[in-house]
Structure 1
């Protein structure tokens, strides 16, 4: 057994709500959290990390990201959703080779880890062929991040091929339990690719024992109502489903989602910037729907959870007539950790410092001018910290970043490959 002790950090846990536990130690044995408390004894041979003057929190959970898009960062600012579909999905995506998918997904995953995101739902709709799929999965595994590979078949409209290829990917890559990268169904129906495809996707997800994540609720009120009614009429709402961009659901619709065990992923910055609609952060949570945060796309927005938490915080508190003023910094941190883990279907695995869970942990510096002298540690994380404060990152007890530097990867070489890929993809 290997052991690691984070000594004397200012510990913030998230269950049942974000709470400052004070100065304490976190003992990790193999891949799990063994104990949290002051003055813990260090077993012989323990690797001790001095966290004095640091904040120790669970790793962040990004519930929705198109990770392959790291090579087209900031290519489409000041835009709209239709422009994103045209430029990114119709023009740029077909140019991707498997090598581009690997490089973009690896760079995007390491960007997550570098900024404190330890769990990622990778909504991967760049499946132009088996080689692209292989590359995306290989990159997630190589990065070391905890990930859900959300597979969206995208070669053609052949629904028989969709079912066969999805089953193949599930069988060949994800039949082994207990792995760090798992699989879900990224459904393109019913609002984007139609109801016939949606029937295949949900039923296949049921047969293959996978949850579903779908872009639903973000295409206008009529589309949102029609899509939800379709799922309900076909008995599909009871299957574990994450609704991404649930902006146009009514309060009643959100309550129906909650009653069926559904969850919501909000990408507050992207939803507001691309004019998808006001983020449903507070409305979804008030309806009883577990709600997580996502960066979505770095083509049009930032990729770190600090930016996403702040977007959620300010946009929710800025709702008309003070409707969102009850939303707190602690709520934003909860969404970025344990609530996000619940949305991802991983609340029993990650999202808090509960002993027995996987040791997905962050150590944040406080000796920077932007964070120093902060009186409320939770507010310091949500409103003041940024990627420069991420000192140490652990996933499953493995130290993937320490002393402010990622470990185990040739970052200069990766950046050179990413630059080459980006130049080719964006060439006129």
Structure 2
């Protein structure tokens, strides 16, 4: 089967392919086979991309998707309040069905806004059934997803048995793959981290871990990884706000990646996003949403926050940098650079078409600058994942969204009632010290 995306403004994110003011993209059996100014393919299904910006889908390297039902409730929360609310108050009342709906609707929402690849950092594995439901939610969304199974925060309990059980049911090469979510040295012991990494290596899985500076206690998480021989090219460090300069160099030397969530980091007091410092140290940043109770779920806002903050701090970065972080660099951090992240012949056709004729961006003079400075989810007209059209003319294909939304509302209301919290905007969780 062949599909031709015809006549769009092509932003390939591949220096060898370049950008085209008017270009075509040919897809054969789900794989990009040619990108050129004009392609003759009379046997192909034609998707008219006139008035559209054609670029690779976005890559989100860290999202706690199970929390989707409580979108917006934590807009004013501190991190301490978030931990108490989501993990201490609400999570104990989640049933597997609630996890499934959160992951499915959350993944569809990300896809709707142009995120074709997403790492789901799952830390609500209260039972095997909860984990299975999370994975099922990802599988039922027509998107490229990485199920990153995390252990309970602060628990030393081994995860190898559950990790192996789930891994046995996730075939290689599919749209849904796996990773391991490490608890990290701030939440468990170095021995537990080492054991988890050993299992991940045996199973061929990448790892992701939340870290930050130690603040008053002076801990140095990256140095602790380094000193114990645990830094890996296959590990992504989430946030990493405030880590020391020598730790940045340790990350660069190891080839590790970093996932930055600028909106959550700023509003929850983690510190300035590390975008500029990482880049200066030789580490290519990637972007993530983190959690939708506290922040919006689209990559446009994420790029813009990181961009304006860094420009305000030191004037560095340009719009092309931001697009790279959100596409090719994200794909590399997920171990998927051979499959996605750019419009490169030989890669899977994970492609989004943005409306260039929308009044909010018209006329598009500089496509990259327009996407970063003025882009928004309403521009996402068409989405393809591995060559399959999953959103067309602004609507997800084959998804009964009203029915799913009704089920998610029932789930949210039941959990809130069981937890004894109001949904009128007046409830505020106590901090852990209260």
- TM-score relative to the length of structure 2: 0.93
Q: Are 1:33 and 2:48 an aligned pair?
A: no
Q: Where does residue 24 of structure 1 map in the other structure? A: 23
* Partner SS for 1:252: helix
Q: Which runs of 5+ in 2 are unaligned?
A: 421-434
1:399-414 to 2 correspondences below 5 Å: 399-414=389-404
**Conserved? CA contact 1:145–1:180, under 8 Å:** yes
* Partner SS for 2:286: strand
Cα distance in 1 for partners of 2:62, 2:210 equals 10
Cα distance in 2 for partners of 1:52, 1:309 equals 25
Cα distance, 1:278–1:407 mapped onto 2, change above 3 Å: same
Cα distance, 1:377–1:330 mapped onto 2, change above 3 Å: same
Q: Of 169, 177, 194, which residue of structure 2 is paired with 1:182? A: 177
Q: Of 169, 177, 200, which residue of structure 1 is paired with 2:166? A: 169
Q: Which runs of 5+ in 1 are unaligned?
A: none
Q: Are 1:380 and 2:375 an aligned pair?
A: no
* Partner SS for 1:26: strand
Deviations along 1:72-103, one digit per CA (max 9) or x if unpaired, are 10111122111111111111111111000100
**Conserved? CA contact 1:191–1:223, under 8 Å:** no
Q: Where does residue 429 of structure 2 map in the other structure? A: none
**Conserved? CA contact 1:153–1:166, under 8 Å:** no
Cα distance in 2 for partners of 1:33, 1:341 equals 16
Give the Å deviation of 1:221: 7.4
Q: Of 237, 240, 255, which residue of structure 2 is paired with 1:243? A: 237
Deviations along 1:143-183, one digit per CA (max 9) or x if unpaired, are 011011100133994634x2211111112x22x22111111
Q: Are 1:198 and 2:187 an aligned pair?
A: no
Cα distance in 1 for partners of 2:12, 2:245 equals 30
Aligned residue pairs: how many? 418
Deviations along 1:362-398, one digit per CA (max 9) or x if unpaired, are 0111222211113211111111121111000001001
Pairwise CA RMSD: 1.7
Q: Of 265, 268, 280, which residue of structure 1 is paired with 2:274? A: 280
Deviations along 1:270-326, one digit per CA (max 9) or x if unpaired, are 10011011100011111111210001001111100111011111111111xxx2x12
Cα distance in 2 for partners of 1:292, 1:221 equals 28
Q: Where does residue 383 of structure 2 map in the other structure? A: 393
Q: Where does residue 418 of structure 1 map in the other structure? A: 408
Q: Where does residue 343 of structure 1 map in the other structure? A: 333
**Conserved? CA contact 1:20–1:377, under 8 Å:** no
* Partner SS for 2:240: coil
- 80-89 or 115-124, larger mean C-alpha shift: 80-89
Q: Where does residue 69 of structure 1 map in the other structure? A: 67
Cα distance, 1:213–1:17 mapped onto 2, change above 3 Å: farther
- TM-score relative to the length of structure 1: 0.94
Q: Where does residue 126 of structure 2 map in the other structure? A: 128
Cα distance in 1 for partners of 2:20, 2:31 equals 19
**Conserved? CA contact 1:221–1:248, under 8 Å:** no
Give the Å deviation of 1:413: 0.4
* Partner SS for 1:246: strand
* Partner SS for 2:76: coil
* Partner SS for 2:363: coil
Q: Are 1:107 and 2:112 an aligned pair?
A: no
Q: Of 198, 215, 219, which residue of structure 2 is paired with 1:220? A: 215
Cα distance in 2 for partners of 1:260, 1:3 equals 41
Cα distance in 2 for partners of 1:307, 1:224 equals 32
- 310-319 or 19-28, larger mean C-alpha shift: 19-28
- 394-403 or 213-222, larger mean C-alpha shift: 213-222
Cα distance in 2 for partners of 1:355, 1:222 equals 50
* Partner SS for 1:159: coil
Q: Where does residue 207 of structure 1 map in the other structure? A: 202
* Partner SS for 1:279: coil
Give the Å deviation of 1:17: 9.4
Give the Å deviation of 1:417: 0.7
Give the Å deviation of 1:223: 5.5
